[in-house]
């Protein structure tokens, strides 16, 4: 039976036809995925089907009855919940308070101005829900103390309080680790077993094919295909998504590494970074592998001056340097594409153009701060083209771009700076397969141009295929630095060092 059906949905934004005459249906008892490149219209469609946005035209049916959603609360009351691409929790409230934020439960039968909140009930119910999704923390804990995966569980509980028929999840796994993802997929199966259908969005196609009963493919705002479980095939999905062939890992753009550009010796910070030492050379991609909490991001934050190191030294081209703040790092030719692009990467209220050229201002401006508009625009347009950033113009406000296109904008901003040392922290998180391949090529090309690249990635194929050498970290220490040029490193080898069971040269950790 069709729980939800949409016909001929259209949504325009200025200069963008985001959803173009799309039909969509969610059946009872199914997990259906929507896949498509960045900007294909997935999130917009979900927002329409969950009452966040109103369509320009089209019809929506719930249980075969035509209806519409006046607001997210209206959709929620009709049995449709959603977990958006960006989590929407209040950091300073507890898990229980967040779970019941929209639907507080009061004491007594009727809600009046003087009603008191039934906190005991809400806490107890929250604890039950958290238990149901296998989250073993107290409902009284403040959300800001939780990890991303735990916050996601709070979101799921919040989605569950009205006993929904459908839960939409927009890229719920994009910032989860492999283990956390496995757990979330289990929760999704559990929800299905309890009679809740799930609509799932992810750029990780292995997850999508693993979990879905049906896959709907979108391209340029249109629904371009549908596959049932027995028809699943990676190449078919990608071809429908992209409309052309994709070359996954670039070959033949390796160069011989040159002189050492960056060296760090015995970096220390709290108990997160313990005596970290390594060198990186011109023309080299140095990959960083490890589990979450291994200290990879923390190490980069010290090199970039976001956190202040408590010990150790940094050398650039053999000269000891003093990096106290990010500006010192950028002046020394270091660029960082951070893991959390929303917090550290983009000014959402500014245009794509301003975001891209912002860190390069001293280079572009003629005298002091007099900017050269034409030069600026040429640079940002060049990057929009190179990274295929989907936007009507470089003067679009960054906030209006799709999630993946915002990420590409952050990449562009650092690529525009001419930094000699580039640090990428999870460079392809949330990025579609085709663009991912473009970014991989670009990383190799940057190295070939003589830059030194430090790349943190939790995707082992990415580390293995792009790195000249691989640093493996475990609990703040380097457990191995592996040469990936003369002999290809294996996943097993990395996992072994990443688990801390062994240190290089045979030393037990």
Q: What's the CA gap between 44 and 17, in Å, rounded? A: 11
**Partner from Mg ion, ligand ATP, none binding residue 295, C-beta < 5-8 Å depending on class:** none
**Partner from Mg ion, ligand ATP, none binding residue 223, C-beta < 5-8 Å depending on class:** none
Contact 339, 426 (CB under 8 A): yes
Contact status: 355 vs ligand ATP (CB under 6 A): no
At closest approach, how far in Å is the CB of 57 from ligand ATP?
A: 16
Contact status: 390 vs ligand ATP (CB under 6 A): yes
At closest approach, how far in Å is the CB of 145 from ligand ATP?
A: 28
Question: What part of residues 53-112 is at the interface with Mg ion (CB under 5 A)?
Answer: 85
Q: What's the CA gap between 427 and 405, in Å, rounded? A: 13
Contact status: 423 vs ligand ATP (CB under 6 A): no
- What are residue 265's phi and psi, to 5 degrees? -125, 125
Contact status: 405 vs ligand ATP (CB under 6 A): yes
Helix (H) / strand (E) containing 67? strand 65-67
**Partner from Mg ion, ligand ATP, none binding residue 283, C-beta < 5-8 Å depending on class:** none
Q: Of 318, 326, 323, whose CA–CA distance to 267 is shortest?
A: 323
Please give, one letter per residue, the 3-state secondary structure of 313-370: EEEECCEEECCCCHHHHHHCCEEEECCCHHHHCCCCCCEHHHHHHHHHHHHHCCCCCC
- Site for ligand ATP (CB under 6 A): which residue of 4, 24, 31, 36? 36
**Partner from ligand ATP, Mg ion, none binding residue 417, C-beta < 5-8 Å depending on class:** none
**Partner from ligand ATP, Mg ion, none binding residue 18, C-beta < 5-8 Å depending on class:** ligand ATP
**Partner from ligand ATP, Mg ion, none binding residue 315, C-beta < 5-8 Å depending on class:** none
Q: The tokens of 371 are what?
A: 């900017």
Question: How would DSSP label each residue in 158-200?
Answer: HHHTT--SEEEEESTTTT--HHHHHHHHHHHHHHHHTT-EEEE
Output 44 or 360, the one with its CB closest to Mg ion.
44
Helix (H) / strand (E) containing 205? helix 205-211
- Site for ligand ATP (CB under 6 A): which residue of 41, 257, 283, 305? 41
**Partner from ligand ATP, Mg ion, none binding residue 40, C-beta < 5-8 Å depending on class:** ligand ATP
Q: What's the CA gap between 101 and 95, in Å, rounded? A: 10
**Partner from Mg ion, ligand ATP, none binding residue 335, C-beta < 5-8 Å depending on class:** none
Give the Cβ contact number of residue 116 at 10 Å: 8
Give the Cβ contact number of residue 260 at 10 Å: 16
At closest approach, how far in Å is the CB of 106 from Mg ion?
A: 36
Q: Of 82, 64, 59, whose CA–CA distance to 164 is shortest?
A: 82
Output 123 or 219, the one with its CB closest to ligand ATP.
219
Site track for ligand ATP across 84-103, x = CB under 6 A: -x------------------
- Residue 74 in 3-state DSSP? helix
Output 181 or 405, the one with its CB closest to ligand ATP.
405
Helix-helix angle 373-386:403-415, to 10 degrees: 120
- Site for ligand ATP (CB under 6 A): which residue of 177, 400, 465, 499? 400
Cα distances (Å, whole numbers) of residue 321 to 263, 353, 451? 10, 32, 19
The one-character DSSP state at 119 is H
At closest approach, how far in Å is the CB of 40 from ligand ATP?
A: 4
Question: How would DSSP label each residue in 227-283?
Answer: EEGGG--HHHHHHHHHSS----S--S------SEEEEEEEEEETTTEEEEEEEEETT
At closest approach, how far in Å is the CB of 404 from ligand ATP?
A: 3
Site track for ligand ATP across 44-63, x = CB under 6 A: x-------------------
Output 253 or 397, the one with its CB closest to ligand ATP.
397
**Which residue is closest to Mg ion by CB?**
43
**Partner from ligand ATP, Mg ion, none binding residue 5, C-beta < 5-8 Å depending on class:** none
**Partner from ligand ATP, Mg ion, none binding residue 427, C-beta < 5-8 Å depending on class:** none
In the chain, helix, strand, coil percent, each to 5? Answer: 35, 25, 40
At closest approach, how far in Å is the CB of 431 from Mg ion?
A: 11
Output 40 or 453, the one with its CB closest to ligand ATP.
40
At closest approach, how far in Å is the CB of 402 from Mg ion?
A: 5
At closest approach, how far in Å is the CB of 260 from ligand ATP?
A: 37
- Site for Mg ion (CB under 5 A): which residue of 287, 403, 427, 500? 403
- Residue 482 in 3-state DSSP? strand
**Partner from Mg ion, ligand ATP, none binding residue 173, C-beta < 5-8 Å depending on class:** none
Task: Mark the segment that binds ligand ATP (CB under 6 A) among 34-42, 155-163, 190-198, 463-471.
Answer: 34-42
- For tokens 């259906």, name the residue: 32
Size of site (CB under 6 A) for ligand ATP: 20
Strands 311-316 and 319-321: antiparallel
Q: Name the site residues for ligand ATP (rule: CB under 6 A).
A: 13, 16, 18, 36, 38-44, 85, 390-391, 400-405
């Amino acid at each position: 039976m069709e729980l939800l059906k949409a016909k001929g949905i259209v949504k325009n934004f200025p200069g963008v036809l985001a959803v173009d005459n799309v039909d969509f249906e969610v059946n009872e008892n199914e997990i259906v995925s929507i896949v498509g490149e960045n900007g294909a219209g997935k999130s917009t469609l979900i927002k329409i089907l969950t009452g966040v946005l109103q369509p320009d035209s089209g019809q929506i049916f719930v249980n075969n009855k035509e209806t519409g959603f006046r607001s997210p609360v209206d959709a929620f009351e009709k049995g449709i919940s959603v977990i958006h691409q960006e989590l929407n929790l209040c950091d300073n409230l507890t898990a229980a308070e967040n779970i019941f934020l929209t639907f507080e439960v009061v004491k007594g039968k009727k809600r009046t101005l003087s009603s008191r909140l039934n906190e005991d009930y809400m806490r107890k119910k929250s604890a039950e829900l958290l238990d149901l999704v296998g989250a073993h923390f107290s409902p009284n804990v403040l959300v800001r103390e939780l990890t991303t995966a735990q916050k996601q569980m709070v979101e799921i509980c919040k989605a569950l309080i009205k006993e929904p028929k459908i839960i939409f999840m927009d890229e719920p796994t994009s910032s989860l680790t492999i283990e956390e993802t496995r757990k979330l997929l289990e929760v999704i199966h559990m929800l299905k077993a309890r009679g809740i259908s799930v609509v799932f969005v992810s750029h990780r196609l292995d997850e999508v094919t693993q979990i879905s009963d049906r896959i709907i493919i979108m391209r340029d705002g249109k629904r371009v295909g549908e596959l049932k479980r027995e028809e699943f095939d990676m190449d078919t999905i990608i071809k429908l998504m992209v409309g052309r062939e994709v070359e996954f890992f670039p070959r033949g753009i390796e160069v011989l590494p040159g002189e050492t550009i960056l060296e760090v010796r015995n970096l220390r910070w709290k108990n997160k970074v313990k005596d970290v030492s390594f060198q990186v050379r011109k023309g080299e991609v140095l990959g960083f592998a490890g589990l979450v909490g291994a200290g990879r991001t923390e190490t980069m934050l010290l090199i970039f001056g976001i956190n202040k190191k408590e010990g150790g030294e940094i050398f650039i081209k053999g000269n000891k340097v003093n990096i106290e703040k990010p500006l010192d790092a950028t002046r020394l030719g270091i660029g960082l594409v951070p893991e959390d692009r929303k917090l550290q990467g983009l000014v959402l209220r500014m245009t794509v153009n301003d975001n891209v050229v912002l860190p390069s201002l001293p280079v572009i401006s003629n005298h002091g701060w007099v900017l050269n508009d034409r030069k600026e625009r040429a640079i940002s347009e060049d990057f929009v083209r190179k990274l295929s950033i989907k936007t009507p113009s470089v003067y679009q406000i960054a906030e209006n771009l799709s999630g993946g296109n915002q990420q590409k904008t952050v990449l562009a901003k650092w690529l525009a700076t001419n930094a000699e040392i580039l640090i990428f922290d999870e460079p392809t998180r949330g990025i579609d397969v085709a663009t991912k391949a473009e970014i991989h090529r670009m990383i190799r090309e940057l190295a070939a141009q003589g830059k030194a690249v430090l790349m943190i990635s939790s995707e082992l194929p990415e580390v293995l295929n792009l790195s000249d050498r691989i640093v493996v970290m475990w609990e703040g220490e380097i457990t191995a630095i592996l040469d990936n040029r003369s002999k290809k490193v294996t996943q097993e080898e990395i996992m072994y060092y990443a688990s801390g069971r062994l240190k290089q040269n045979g030393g037990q950790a």
